[in-house]
Amino acid sequence: MKQRKLFIAGNWKMNKTAAEAAQMVSALVKKVEGLSDKINMAVCPPFTALDRISPLLKGTGVALGAQNLSEKASGAYTGEISAAMLLELGVKHVIIGHSERRQYYGETDELVSKKAKFALAAGLLPIVCVGETLQEREGGKTSSVITAQLKGSLAGITPDEMLKTTIAYEPVWAIGTGKTASPDQAQEVHALIRKLLTDLFGKAVAEKVIIQYGGSVKADNARELMAKQDIDGALVGGASLDAEGFSALIRNAIS
Ligand code: PGA
């Protein structure tokens, strides 16, 4: 039996208007009622839906998350969203350094660490993403890439802050492709991440950190992934978009 409580978060990416998000969340909270004793759950809709669904989640055991935030407090940063803006809407978690942000919007480990520090100082709980590309995996570079990303992305984080931070291991080649890392492949990297966390923050902290797996997690593969020693939850994209499928995935994860 694992000591850590599983944490599953849905990353909706650029999907759903506020009205569509409200509809999905209303259905979801009914389907997962009573499960929050066994598992931590969150949904991370686009910014434009946060305000609408925040009241629908109150008291349901499903937390609200955002997909990004600025590393600045306020000011002349057109298009950016601050921690204070998220907190006011009841946001608890924030995804930082998703591979799509790294790949398409040039986010570096340095920026990711600044955002994570900023989120933590403001009282948000970061979900920091790391993951190798197919080329890196095939070139035998998975360990070195993950090591560098993790160290860079967590630079300046204290052990106390690390306890509030979730890591999401998301191999880029498995995101949205239908190709999941096998449970053994994922476990191998999760164990590496736990070892790096031990070196950086000490064993007591590392043993408590939630390490999610992400990349084509579905209702039918959730159970075998969660059975692995160091896989403590999932960051779910496509399969988190409908209430039926996402609730089935959550149920399978704890079955
Ligand atoms: P996917 O996305 O579940 O659609 O592969 C996961 C993610 O990018 O967080």
- Size of the chain in residues: 255
> Taking residues 120-142, what's their average pLDDT?
97
pLDDT at 178: 83
Q: How far apart are CA 214 and CA 234, in angstroms?
A: 5
**CA 68/CA 66 separation, integer angstroms:** 6
pLDDT tens sequence across 150-163? 999 999 999 999 99
Q: What gap in Å lies between CA 70 and CA 87, rounded to an integer?
A: 13
pLDDT band at residue 3 using 50, 70 and 90 as cut-offs:
confident
* Residues with Cβ within 8 Å of residue 30, at least 6 apart in sequence: none
What's the gap in Å between 76 CA and the centre of ligand 1? 32
Ligand 1 atom at shortest distance from the alpha carbon of 11: 9
Q: Which helix (H) or strand (E) segment is 11 a member of?
A: strand 7-11
pTM, rounded to two decimals:
0.97
Q: How far apart are CA 231 and CA 224, in angstroms?
A: 10
Is 98 labeled as catalytic in the residue annotation? yes
42/178: higher pLDDT: 42
**Ligand 1 pocket check for 216: Cβ under 6 Å:** yes
Average pLDDT over the chain, rounded to whole?
A: 97
- 93 a catalytic residue: no
- 171 Cα to the center of ligand 1, angstroms: 10
Query: The tokens 């164990």 sit on which residue?
Result: 191
176 lines ligand 1 (CB under 6 A): yes
Give 61's pLDDT tier (boundaries 50, 70, 90).
very high
pLDDT of residue 86: 98
86-101: average pLDDT = 98
Looking at the chain, the number of H-run helices and the number of E-run strands are 12, 8
Place of tokens 């409200």: 22
Quick: pLDDT tens for 217-241: 999 999 999 999 999 999 999 999 9
Q: Which of 93, 98, 161, 190 is catalytic?
A: 98
Q: Taking 60 as the threshold, does the pLDDT of residue 10 lie above it?
A: yes
pLDDT at 1 over 70: no
Q: pLDDT at position 80, please?
A: 98
DSSP for 204-228, written as a single string:
HHHTT--EEEESS--TTTHHHHHTS
- pLDDT tens digits, one per residue of 169-208: 999 999 988 888 899 999 999 999 999 999 999 999 999 9
**How would you label 185-222 residue by residue, b for 16+ Cβ within 10 Å and e otherwise?**
ebbebbebbbebbeebbeeebbeebbbbbbbbbbbebb
Which residue has a Cα nearest atom 6 of ligand 1?
A: 237
pLDDT of residue 2: 72
pLDDT tops 60 at residue 40: yes
Instruction: Write the residue with the smallest CA distance to atom 7 of ligand 1.
Output: 237
Percent of the chain with pLDDT over 70: 100
Evaluate if residue 87 carries a pLDDT over 60. Answer: yes
